[in-house]
Amino acid sequence: MLIDFVGSLATGFGLMGIVLLVNRLILRNRIDRWIYPATVAFGMVAFTIWAEYTWPSRTITAQPQLALASENGEAVFYRPWTFIWPQVTRMTAINLAETRTHPDQPGMVMTQVVFIGRWEPTRGVVVIYDCVNNARADVVEGVAMNADGTLEGAEWFPLDADNPVLRTACAAVEEGNDGRASGA
């Protein structure tokens, strides 16, 4: 948050400096002085809106091991423009560096699902997806993987075939992830 605050201040005062130079050098002081604080305010608001709307792409770009699976937008009354263009506040991604398959169970994918929220700590959970039967099992205490890749003690949850996280995890293995999705 501190970086965004400093960035908005720098944008506001930088824009004011440009307007000041244009007013003094080109326009010969024809614009009233009220333009300077208005320019700072406009620059700060513009930077804040830009930062809020671009953080998902900047976050995923900064972490190339993540494959974006889904985004959740949110509209709030104190940002009326979000009713037209909802703002992404949460994302779900697959950690490609932690995606694996077992040689005896090629239809199953073990991966780390990463939950990223704006102004929230990033969380990750290990999940196994059954790409053939469209199901998910969370790897929690009491779940064990046998030598043949089957699970003991896992609770399987059925998923829709078009579930974005399931599709992203299965596609990551199908594409090969540059050799990362090899047997574990």
> Given a cut of 90, is residue 62 above it in pLDDT?
yes
Q: What's the pLDDT at 57?
A: 93
- The Cβ-side half-sphere exposure at 109, using a 13 Å CA radius, reads 30
Q: What are 11-37's pLDDT values in tens digits? A: 999 999 999 999 999 888 888 889 999
Distance from C-alpha of 48 to C-alpha of 119, rounded to nearest angstrom: 14
Give me 98's structure tokens: 């932690």
Residue 113 and residue 69: Cα distance in Å, rounded?
9
C-alpha distances (whole Å) from 174 to each of 107, 139, 149, 167 are 10, 22, 18, 10
The position carrying tokens 């974005």 is 164
d(CA 184, CA 177): 14
For 183, the 3-state DSSP assignment is strand
Question: What pLDDT shows up at residue 176?
Answer: 63
